[in-house]
């Protein structure tokens, strides 16, 4: 890891003092910048981040107190340590004024080389320590962001895997596994005093002929079209699922009236039986099918196997009775 070399700003309106300070700081491991006035110092502070500012107090136009106050009040510079270097203003009142303006220390002129080197070293060490801490915090923040992204991606993948495990890959409808979960949940709720419901099993009449005549691609397109029509004609609280092949199931939530359930299934059968125009490999293929639908109602104390057998039996009765019709289980 590489770190930015620290920078020190020396501010003094006397050229000889700048030369003397340059000599005294020659062995310091930092880049030295010089300013001959308060305005020049502020311009440099806007362009650079300094580890330390060695600031003469007595300067024309803008004195050191004003410069220090400006640096302290600026959001981007407020943490820059300032040491006043002065032959005057060494009394307590002016020291307090200097500290109020933002200075952290004083060095008296003529400058003692050992004192200067010692104080500069302290602030450079503090600067490097803060830089290392900031680097560590930045790396930690970056790692936290990476971990957040990884967790979000893992969650997304887990949700995707679960969705794929619970939904039919071709039509996007709930598959047999998810449908069983929802049906068992509906049974438990109804047996616990909740809403009753109706269950319908649906078998597509004429699907095998389309599949045999035009190929599996046409059969797949037809299944997707059927699924889309069924999903569009059912409520959000209902569940329509593909059980496999050309068999579907429908859970009609809150439907306890036999005539209402049968009417809804007949309307759905009419929608399914409307003509299709399938796009397969650039060709337009017409398809005409129907739906045999068996309907059963939940009864108090019902269990999964009884409901499924009842709906399945009614569906086969619909097929035996001429297909493309809906039959209510006895």
Q: In the structure encoding, which two tokens stand for residue 230, read together?
A: 């069924």
92 burial level (CB within 10 Å; 0-12, 13-18, 19+): exposed
DSSP 50: -
Q: State the Cα torsion 252-253-255-256 to the nearest 10°.
A: 110
Q: What angle do CA 100, 103, 109 make, to 5 degrees?
A: 120
DSSP 174: B
* Ramachandran angles phi, psi of 305, nearest 5°: -60, -40
Asked if 242 and 170 count as a contact pair (C-beta separation under 8 A), the reply is yes
Q: Which of 12, 238, 246, 302 is catalytic?
A: 246
* Ramachandran angles phi, psi of 282, nearest 5°: 80, -5
What gap in Å lies between CA 222 and CA 229, rounded to an integer? 11
DSSP 102: T
What gap in Å lies between CA 182 and CA 186, rounded to an integer? 6
Q: Is 56 a catalytic residue?
A: no
Find where tokens 């039996």 sit: 313
What gap in Å lies between CA 20 and CA 10, rounded to an integer? 11
What gap in Å lies between CA 60 and CA 170, rounded to an integer? 83
At 141, is the secondary structure helix, strand, or coil?
helix
What gap in Å lies between CA 55 and CA 102, rounded to an integer? 11
Give the Å distances, CA to CA, from 144 to 136, 138, 155, 205, 251: 12, 10, 16, 57, 45
- Residues annotated as catalytic (active site), given as ranges: 246
């Amino acid at each position: 890891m590489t770190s930015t070399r620290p920078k020190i700003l020396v501010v003094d309106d006397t050229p000889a003092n700048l030369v003397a300070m340059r000599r005294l700081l020659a062995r310091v491991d930092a880049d030295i910048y010089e300013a001959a006035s308060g305005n020049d110092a502020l311009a440099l502070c806007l362009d650079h981040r300094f580890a330390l500012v060695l600031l003469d107090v007595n300067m024309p136009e803008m004195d050191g107190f004003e410069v220090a106050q400006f640096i302290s009040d600026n959001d981007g510079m407020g943490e820059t340590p300032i040491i006043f270097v002065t032959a005057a203003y060494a009394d307590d009142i002016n020291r307090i004024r200097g500290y109020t303006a933002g200075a952290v220390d004083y060095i008296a002129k003529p400058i003692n080389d050992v004192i200067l080197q010692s104080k500069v070293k302290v602030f450079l060490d503090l600067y490097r320590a803060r830089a290392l801490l900031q680097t560590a915090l930045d790396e930690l923040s970056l790692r936290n962001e990476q971990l957040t992204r990884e967790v979000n991606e893992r969650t997304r993948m887990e949700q995707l895997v679960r969705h794929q495990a619970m939904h039919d890959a071709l039509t996007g409808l709930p598959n047999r596994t998810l449908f069983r979960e929802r049906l068992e949940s509906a049974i438990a709720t109804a047996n616990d005093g909740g809403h009753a419901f109706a269950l319908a099993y649906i078998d597509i009449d004429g699907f095998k002929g389309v599949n045999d005549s035009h190929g599996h691609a046409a059969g797949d397109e037809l299944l997707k079209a059927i699924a889309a029509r069924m999903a569009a004609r059912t409520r959000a609280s209902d569940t329509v699922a593909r059980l496999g092949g050309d068999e579907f199931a429908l859970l009609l939530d809150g439907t306890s009236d036999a005539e209402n359930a049968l009417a809804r299934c007949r309307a759905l059968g009419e929608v399914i039986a409307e003509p299709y125009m399938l796009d397969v490999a650039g060709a337009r293929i017409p398809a005409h099918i129907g739906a045999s639908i068996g309907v059963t109602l939940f009864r108090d104390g019902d269990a999964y196997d009884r409901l499924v057998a009842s709906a399945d039996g009614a569906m086969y009765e619909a097929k035996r009775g001429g297909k493309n019709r809906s039959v209510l289980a006895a």
